[in-house]
Amino acid sequence: MTNVVTVLGSPRAKSDSSRLADAAAAALTGGAGASARHLINDLKHVRGCQACQSCKGKTEACVLKDDIAPLLSTCAAADVIVLASPVYIGEITAQLKLFIDRTYSWFLPDFHTNPEPGRLKGKKALLVFTQGNPDASTYTRVFEAYKAYFTRQGFKTEYRCVVVPFGPDHDQAVDAAEAEIRKLAASL
Ligand SMILES: Cc1cc2nc3c(=O)[nH]c(=O)nc-3n(C[C@H](O)[C@H](O)[C@H](O)COP(=O)(O)O)c2cc1C
């Protein structure tokens, strides 16, 4: 049974990236596993990483006591994490970036020199992005950087960015992308 946790970076619960992440989670569990869905925007008390380095010595987890802390633990217990975000000003949203910064706590204390630096080695991550810009290659460098980050953490990582046009072609584009994301998730 596959345990999937989805972390959504869009401020909108019924957004395109959220819908695609839901499709990925459904494909990953195949109807038999467990999946949980978390919209970071719904969390009341969130703090960015404080660079206190406690997770590199005193504890093996983030010591901040906010609503991100239990989400980090939930993700750490999952087989697959699905992270989704629209592109905002050429980057992922601030909501998802804040969460990802906190996953710094998953690195082992010797991560600078250790070739296998992550506590969560062997798990999988699927990154789902959406953008309005019709040029699909515009933000490749950004997406590759997040893929490289989670790969270095020890996750088997894939990503897909979907161009979601504004206007009458919107629904058809999301429907087609949903089928593609399901395939990608099933092959992860
Ligand atoms: C504040 C803001 C900034 C955005 N910046 C970009 C951008 O830099 N590049 C782009 O391609 N799309 C940009 N978009 C469009 C969104 O990425 C696009 O509409 C996306 O599909 C929305 O995903 P969602 O439905 O999951 O929220 C922006 C949208 C907003 C609201």
Q: What is the pLDDT of residues 39-53, one digit of tens each?
A: 999 999 999 999 999
What confidence score (pLDDT) does residue 99 get?
A: 98
- Angstrom distance (rounded) from CA 157 to CA 121: 11
Domain at 3-187: CATH architecture: 3-Layer(aba) Sandwich (3.40)
Q: What is the pLDDT of residues 54-95, one digit of tens each?
A: 999 889 899 999 999 999 999 999 999 999 999 999 999 999
Q: Domain residues of the chain, as ranges? A: 3-187
Closest residue CA from atom 6 of ligand 1:
88
Q: Please work out whether the CB of residue 154 comes within 6 Å of at least one atom of ligand 1.
A: no
Kindly report the pTM of this predicted structure: 0.97
- Angstrom distance (rounded) from CA 172 to CA 22: 17
Q: Please work out whether the CB of residue 9 comes within 6 Å of at least one atom of ligand 1.
A: no
Ligand 1 center to residue 42 CA distance, Å? 19
What confidence score (pLDDT) does residue 34 get?
A: 82
Comparing CA positions, the residue from 13, 40, 17, 10 lying closest to residue 177 is 17
Q: Which residue has the tokens 């633990």?
A: 73
Ligand 1 center to residue 44 CA distance, Å? 23
Q: How many residues are present in the chain?
A: 188
